[in-house]
Amino acid sequence: MTPRRLVVSLLGSAPFARAYTLTALTAAFSSFVIERMMSPVSLATIIGVLAVIGVAVLTVRRDELSLLRFAPTSLLGFLLLALLSVLWSADRGGTLAGWFTLLGYAVIAITIGHVRDTLQTVRAIGDTLRWLLTLSLALEIVFGILLDTPFRLLGIEGTLAVGGPIQGIFGTRNMLGFIAVIALITFVVEWRTRSIGRVAGVLSVALGGSLALFSASPTVVVLATGVGVATVALMIVRHTPAHLRSAVQAALGALVVVGLVVAFALRHQIIRVLDAGSDFSTRADLWNMMLDFIAQRPITGYGWFGPWPRGEYPFTYINFLLSDHHQSALNAYFDTLLQLGWAGLALFVVLGSVALVRSWLVASVRRSVVYAWAPLVLITLGVESMFESFALTGTGWLLLVLCALRAGQTRSWRESIDAAHTDAIPTLGPEGGGPDRGPLPGATGS
């Protein structure tokens, strides 16, 4: 076998797909550690190399891919708008760098979505988060109890002995809380699908739950409440007879709207209960200040950068006026509005909402609980986006693209077009329809 055929065979193999997925997920979830222990350039290089390898894998598997179902249209539109923002950005080099980072994570997510099916993806994320959360807990025990001293390099304050807040290897307590909630969703799905044993399931859930608790992040309570309500609602829909399901979906949608209105009306009381007054006050001041700058460029924004760069207008000026050092808008929707204007915000909302509707409809009719993972993660991202900009960078962006791709693969207008060319009739009946179309031939390994 020639070297070229050997490389092609390797890139197209199931073991390589599994190894690539685990490596890419570990790099994405460990981005803060890589950046602190090495450098931002090292992190960018790792993500860039993984993206290039992903392109190579997709090229080798090109005969197995469908162009129509390759990626969501809204995702491509968002990436295109972010690239076009170079034309009106004050720092074109910074915008290009931010765009390449956005593209790199998107390519990795698209590659994973095409070479692994839903269950394989959930298992890979579960394995990755078990190790990283265990490492976080171990470091917090070492520096918070055994040594009782901060570990400044990773931002670990060593406060575990007094009940937190802790941040593990993820940089901030809010990021740890977000990751812990994603982990809990993943661990429970793994447990319910019997991908892991009872003991491993109990220990995994205990690990995620304890780190979420010790993070002392106010957003964890909101996320847990949102995910809990969504889980109950999804259970109700899944156990509803098919002829009543539409009515139940409509009723639940109305309840969500009423709940949001009530939550907004009681926001001050909720903030007091969560003891998050100072956090919310900081965010409110930031958002009010941003509105003045958004009004200057409401349609196009100031150009895509991702995390706020130092020395660039209006980011540095906003921090100067607030006497603070924010690295984001602490809200993905406001961040998108500031950087890409109303056009970018519309594409971002369409990307997330269409993916949520598709994945929710799939989870409500298919028997396997694994299909509940995508809508619950999307709900977590949507709620977290009201308090942080995680969904626009790094791990959060990767999860958003991955869930949107998975939702588009299982329920999309593209599926009907593909069926017309292959003489297959796509079905999503109450008993689950056809099998998951996530894995490609040759990618059925564990």
Dist. CA 344–CA 341, nearest whole Å: 5
**What dihedral do alpha carbons 136, 230, 243, 414 form, nearest 10°?**
-60
Q: How large is the greatest C-alpha to C-alpha distance in the chain, in angstroms?
A: 70
Q: At 77, list the tokens.
A: 């539109």
Q: Reduced to 3 states, what is the DSSP secondary structure of residue 156?
A: strand
Q: Is 445 left (phi over 0), alpha (psi -120 to 50) or beta?
A: beta
Planar angle of CA 176, 262, 210, nearest 5 degrees: 20
Give Cβ neighbours of residue 368 (< 8 Å, ≥ 6 apart): 119, 193, 432
In 3D space, the residue among 50, 11, 56, 52 whose CA is nearest the CA of residue 28 turns out to be 50
- Single-letter amino acid, residue 58: L
Amino acid 409: pLDDT? 76
Residue 78 to residues 73, 134, 236, 258: CA-CA distances in angstroms?
9, 35, 34, 31
Dist. CA 393–CA 395, nearest whole Å: 6
Dist. CA 40–CA 154, nearest whole Å: 14
Dist. CA 444–CA 309, nearest whole Å: 42
pLDDT by 10s per residue, the chain, length 446: 688 888 888 888 999 999 999 999 999 999 999 999 999 999 999 999 999 999 999 999 888 887 778 889 999 999 999 999 999 998 999 999 999 999 999 999 999 999 999 999 999 999 999 999 999 999 999 999 998 889 988 889 888 988 889 999 999 999 999 999 999 999 999 999 999 999 999 999 999 999 999 998 888 988 998 899 899 988 888 888 888 888 888 888 888 888 778 776 766 666 666 655 667 778 888 998 999 999 999 999 999 999 998 888 899 999 999 988 899 999 999 999 999 999 999 999 999 999 999 999 999 888 889 999 999 999 999 999 999 999 999 999 999 999 999 988 765 545 555 544 444 434 343 333 333 433 433 333 33
Give Cβ neighbours of residue 411 (< 8 Å, ≥ 6 apart): 358, 359, 361, 362, 428
Structure-token match 């993943």, residue found: 186
Give Cβ neighbours of residue 118 (< 8 Å, ≥ 6 apart): 370, 371, 373, 374, 406, 436, 438
Give Cβ neighbours of residue 432 (< 8 Å, ≥ 6 apart): 365, 366, 367, 368
Amino acid 264: pLDDT? 67
- Single-letter amino acid, residue 209: G
pTM of the model: 0.89
- Single-letter amino acid, residue 50: L
In 3D space, the residue among 105, 83, 80 whose CA is nearest the CA of residue 92 turns out to be 83
Residue burial 47-65, b: 16+ Cβ < 10 Å; e: rest: beebbebbeebbebbeeee
Amino acid 443: pLDDT? 38
Dist. CA 48–CA 357, nearest whole Å: 31
Structure-token match 């900081």, residue found: 282
Backbone angles phi, psi at 312, to 5 degrees: -110, 140
Dist. CA 439–CA 52, nearest whole Å: 21
Dist. CA 86–CA 245, nearest whole Å: 46
Dist. CA 112–CA 381, nearest whole Å: 19
- Single-letter amino acid, residue 28: A
Q: Half-sphere exposure of 284 toward its Cβ, with a 13 Å CA cutoff?
A: 9
Which residues partner with 297 through β-bridges?
A: none
Amino acid 431: pLDDT? 36
